[in-house]
Structures are given as C-alpha cells and as structure tokens.
Amino acid sequence: MAVKKTYDLTKGPILNRLLLVALPIMGTQVMQMAYNLTDMFWLGRLGSDAVAASGAAGMFMWLSMAFMLFGRMGAEICVSQSLGAGDRESAGKYSQSAAWISAVAGVIFGSSMLFFSRFFIGFYNIREAHVAHDAALYLSITGVGFPLMFVALAISGTFTGSGNSRLPFMIHALGLGVNIVLDPILIFTFELGIAGAAAATVVCHVLVCTLSVLAIHFHKDRPFADYRLFNKPDFAKIKRIFKLTTPVFVESFLFTGLTMTVSRFVASFGADALAVSRIGSQIESLTWLIGGGFASAITAFTGQNFGAKLWSRIHACFRISCVMMIVWGIAVTLLLFFLGVPLYGIFLREPAILLMGGEYMKILAFCQITMCIEGIGASIFRGIGETIKPSIVSITSNALRVPLAYFLSLTALGLNGIWIGLTVGAALRGIWMFVWLVARKRGLPATDAAA
C-alpha cells in the first residue's frame, strides 16, 4: 500500500508539508506538557510540597525520554529515509525493530523506577522527609507505565516518519482527556493524593499504547498494509538504529543527568525552590516542546527528501523553519518576561514562590530564541543522518551549565545564580548549533539529483 500523496513530503508546497506534519506533533507535545500541568494544577491544591515531590520524580520521567529516543527517533529517521528512497519493505522492518528496542528499554527502565525509587530519589538529598517519601511513591507507580509509553512513542515515530502525525495526535488527545478527568477523581474523591496523580498517568499510558498498537495494525491510514509489530527482530536494522540514535541518547541522557545535578543544587534551597523549578520547567517547555514538535517535522521532511536526494527542498526547509521558529521564540520570550508571575499563580499562591517564579521566568526569557534555532539545527542534522554533531554541541554546552550554575549560586545571586547559569549555557548551545549547521549546509548540493 503506497503512502498517500498527502503524506509524501518530497512533493508539494514546503510550508504546507511542514505544517501538515508539525502541527499535530506540536499539538501532541502540548498535550504532553498538559499531562504534567494537569498533575501540577491539582497537586498544587495540596500545597507546594506535593508539587516539589512530583517535580523530583518528574526528573526521572524526563530521564526516560533519553531511552525512548532509541525507538522514537530511530523510527523517525530510518522510516522517513527509507520511504523517501522508495524502499517500503525496509521502512517496515525499521519500524518493527524500533518497537522491539522500545519494549525492551521500557521494561528495563520501568522496572528500575518501580523497585529502586527510594534509591533514585535519594540522589536529591531532599531536606523534607515527607516530600522524599511522596516523590518515591509517585516514581514507583509511574514506573509501571513506562514500557507502554515507550512502545506508543516508537509507533508515533513511525507515523511521523511516514508523514502522518495526525493520528498520533488524536490518540494522545484522547489520553489527555482521560487524564484530566481522572486526576481530580483519584487525587480528591478517592483521597489518594499524589498516588492518585501517578495512577491517572499510568491509566493514560495503557490507553494510548493500546490505541497506538491498534492504529499501526488496522487503521485505514496506517503506513504499511502488512505489518506485525513484534515480528522476528532484524538485527541489522537494530544495529543501524543504535548507530544513528546512540549519540542522541547520550546527549539526552547527559542533559537530563546534568539537569538533575542542577536540581540538587536547587533542592538545597528548600522544597519551595524545587517547586519553582518544577513549574518553571513546564512553563518554559512552551519553547522546547513546541520547538521539538516542529523539529520532529523537520527531521521527517529532511529524511524523506534526503532519501530522494531533493537538496533544494532541504535548503528551502531551513530558510522557512528559521523564520517560523524565530517568531515563536520572540513570542515566548515576551510571555515569560512579562507574564511569569501570573503564570505561576495558576498553580500556587504563596507570595514567596510567586516572587521566585517571576525572577526565574525573566532570566530564562533571554535564551528562548537561541533554543528555537538550536532545534532547527539538530533536526536537519538528524534528518541527513549526521546525529553526532548536534550531540557534541549539546553535551559540551550542557556540561558547562553545571559549574556555571554551581559557582554563581555561591555568590550573592543565590538561587538566581542557578537560573543565570542555565540561561547562559542554553544560549551558547543554540548559537553554536546554528553556526555549525550553516557551515555544513554549504556542503550540501545546491541542485537536486534529478536536475
């Protein structure tokens, strides 16, 4: 069964094709943010300690994204390149291989969180014992859902690589709706507190994974007519997926690990500071989740056109993406700088936290544009199969953030020194990535292979 022309990214208006893929992905990313914001909104009714506990556990959920990348990013890159080259059989095998990788990684990671949650939460050395206990409880419950979430995201990567991001969006939208309904019921009606928020998340993972598996096998817009999710593994395909995605995994793993180290610095200022960090990272995710959604579309677009050797479309994609993401970066910058306090007020009402949160947002506002252009650079590199370069940029720049945050926090800046260190590191990362991409882009052919 051929991919519908609607999903063929090697033909048609470039902006139209980018938006066709990007908008549903960005919607899915917003929903991922909404999962977390919904938890924080209702947990905020219990107080800042509950938000701090979910924030500590949430860092390990963020760490899981590194392991998810093997399957999701592997499917996006390899499926898109294979379809662009007209090799549908290989595309299907890459998708199945990505699902195998995700299932195994999900079981290993989820089991670790389930059985060793207290050990992992102990990393933060949280001063308040009840906050540490609640964080471990939240993490152990959500660990049950990780294998399902991993597989669902690998399937989403397959749909995205084939140019169809709308179906995953609809599936995740349904999951979000269930989460919104379940959160207050389990947290308050059944009086489960933070355990209720975690249980609601697991139920949503079960639903989203089930629907994703059904979609890849039976939906009329599935990319492959004859498909079995867990056919015998193709180890040659698995090897290539690991080769392409290992740099991305290392980048994401170290980024989260370094962020967790910084969070430990934050925790030394108390549970209120940890709550500020948790909420702020979710508000700021307007940049890196929306930008990441657009970046996934760029990766799929670049991958298909790279496979088809349509260089002119890749160059045009770069120009169009720069304009769109810079405009978005400016919008988020203004939002964070001028509306930081009202945004925090949605979740918590303690005056001291609102003051800390407003200062945090103003500082982070200054790196939002560079974070947007960083996403463009990383996604184009990945679309052409050069995953090491963006990883070098990210790992080096993020490693710089830790000493910056630590030493600045020891000055009179205190907690604000941590935010400044994070901002400077993010700005340097975006500038470096953009400059390297511009230099690399000049080495790509200017005209198409068929010209």
Query: What are the tens digits of pLDDT across the range 42-68?
Result: 888 888 888 888 878 888 888 898 999
| Eight-class DSSP state of 126 | -
- Say if 446 falls within a structural domain: no
- Say if 74 falls within a structural domain: yes
Q: Would you state the pLDDT for residue 449?
A: 66
Tens of pLDDT, residues 102-158:
999 999 999 999 999 999 999 888 878 999 999 999 999 999 999 999 999 999 999
Query: Cα-flanking dihedrals φ and ψ of residue 296, to 5°?
Result: -60, -40
Residue 359 amino acid letter: E
Specify whether the CB–CB gap between 356 and 415 falls below 8 A.
yes
Q: Would you state the pLDDT for residue 62?
A: 81
- Say if 3 falls within a structural domain: no
Percent of the chain exceeding pLDDT 90 equals: 59
Q: Would you state the pLDDT for residue 251?
A: 86
Rg for the chain, CA atoms, rounded: 21
- Say if 238 falls within a structural domain: yes
What are the distances in angstroms from CA 256 to CA 34, 65, 148? 20, 9, 21
Q: Would you state the pLDDT for residue 113?
A: 95
Q: Would you state the pLDDT for residue 363?
A: 96
Specify whether the CB–CB gap between 44 and 276 falls below 8 A.
no
How far is 379 from 297, CA to CA, in rounded Å? Answer: 8
Mean pLDDT of the chain: 89
For the cut 80, the answer to whether the pLDDT of residue 264 exceeds it is: yes
For the cut 60, the answer to whether the pLDDT of residue 1 exceeds it is: no
**Residue written as token pair 């979609």:** 215
For the cut 80, the answer to whether the pLDDT of residue 384 exceeds it is: yes
How far is 41 from 50, CA to CA, in rounded Å? Answer: 11
Tens of pLDDT, residues 334-344:
999 999 899 88
Within 10 angstroms of residue 369's Cβ, the number of other Cβ atoms is 21
Which two tokens mark 163? 């140019």
**Residue written as token pair 């609607």:** 6
Specify whether the CB–CB gap between 31 and 173 falls below 8 A.
yes
For the cut 60, the answer to whether the pLDDT of residue 2 exceeds it is: no
- Say if 192 falls within a structural domain: yes
How far is 435 from 10, CA to CA, in rounded Å? Answer: 26
- Say if 1 falls within a structural domain: no
Q: Would you state the pLDDT for residue 144?
A: 95
Q: Would you state the pLDDT for residue 290?
A: 77
How far is 74 from 94, CA to CA, in rounded Å? Answer: 8
What single string gives the DSSP state of each residue in 365-389?
Answer: GGGHHHHHHHHHHHHHHHHTT--HH
Residue-range definition of the domain harbouring residue 329: 12-441
SS3 assignment, position 226: coil
- Cα 61 to chain centroid distance, Å, stands at 11
Closest C-alpha among 437, 423, 318 to residue 369 = 423
Which two tokens mark 148? 């399902």
Higher pLDDT, 149 or 231: 149
Tens of pLDDT, residues 286-303:
777 777 778 888 998 999
Instruction: Please state at what angle helix 271-307 crosses helix 48-84, rounded to 10 degrees.
Output: 10
- Say if 448 falls within a structural domain: no
Specify whether the CB–CB gap between 196 and 183 falls below 8 A.
yes
Q: Would you state the pLDDT for residue 351?
A: 86
Query: What domain count does the chain have?
Result: 1
How far is 301 from 239, CA to CA, in rounded Å? Answer: 23
For the cut 70, the answer to whether the pLDDT of residue 285 exceeds it is: yes
Please provide the distance, in angstroms rounded to a whole number, between the alpha carbons at the two ends of the chain: 28
